[in-house]
Amino acid sequence: MANCVVCGRRAVYIERSSGYAYCERHFLKLFSRRVRKTMRRYELFSEKEDIVIAVSGGKDSLSLLHFMSKLAKRVKGWRIRALLIDEGISGYRDVTKKDFIKFAEEWGIEYRIASFKEEVGLTLDEMVKKGRSIGLPYLPCTYCGVFRRYLLNKVAREMGATVLATAHNLDDVIQTYVMNVIVNNLDKLSRLGPKTGVVRHPKFVPKVKPFYEVLEKEVALYAVLNGIYPSFIECPYARLGVRWTIREMLNKLEERHPGIKYFTLRSLLRMISTIRGAEGAEGGPLTCKICGEPSAHEVCRACQLKIELGLIKP
């Protein structure tokens, strides 16, 4: 094992893109410095914020909750709370929900849990089953993504949040970037920046990604070094989507060509700048004529899916 480039102690992490090795103490300093730099560079927070952290109970979101809670002790104008969306995935979300509640109560963090069943009318498992029975062409991730985003914004607003922070890391962001390019969803790229909500809507809560420039493996190490050990359990639907294949492809590329993930992120940021420059902004959000929530169309995607699932009438 290599020794720390700073102090010479036994290293716990080697940054393959630079070749530098870091001991536990200096890795945690590096991690903190990188996240705080992201916050400053992209102006993610002001001095006074009511921050709601989107959590799942997994290592990434619990690490973000831990990091932001510690940082908030030094920023008097910050209030930190958490929001978990319970999709209703049998054998998965019920486990991660218990992990989240355990950590939140240990750390003394206020939280709220909102469920698909109560807010939408069906659990994700029920949506998948019904969708297949009536011939809808959607993968489980489609229902999950649409209704999670819908409820995160709606419930965070009800909680009085000024900003919603998600634990999307560099790997998550570039996977979504490549996925959208492959399926020709270029209009969605402007949403993949470290901060969304440039064009204001009275019901839209700005979203930020403090882990935007941090690798997934670095978040995992942060969790381990801070004693955050949630249950290692995989969503049963995860491997059905295109994202899983893209994730494996990018990991193989990074293994052969260290630094490729960072280059991909820079490519995305350049694309976002070009798109926003051409549009003048992210494109003005409309108001869904059915539910009254922010939408890119007259009827939001959540309501479109509800109509197709027979949950509401058009």
pLDDT in tens, 16-60: 888 999 999 999 999 999 999 999 999 999 999 999 999 998 999
Q: Which two tokens stand for residue 249?
A: 């492809």
Q: Residue 89's closest CA among 168, 136, 147?
A: 147
Crossing angle (nearest 10°) for helices 140-158 and 124-133: 140
Q: Amino acid identity, residue 269? A: L
Rounded Cα distance between 230 and 304, Å, is 35
Average pLDDT on 53-76 reads: 95
pLDDT in tens, 80-107: 999 999 999 999 998 999 999 999 999 9
- Model confidence, pTM: 0.92
Average pLDDT on 264-292 reads: 81
Range list of H helices, the chain:
24-41, 59-72, 93-107, 116-119, 124-133, 140-158, 170-182, 216-225, 242-256, 260-279, 301-308
pLDDT at 181 over 80: yes
For the chain, give the mean pLDDT: 93
Per-residue confidence (pLDDT) for residue 202, from 0 to 100: 87
The full set of domains in the chain, from first to last, is: 1-41 (no CATH), 43-283 (3.40.50.620)
**65-69, 112-116, 234-238 — which is least confidently predicted?**
234-238
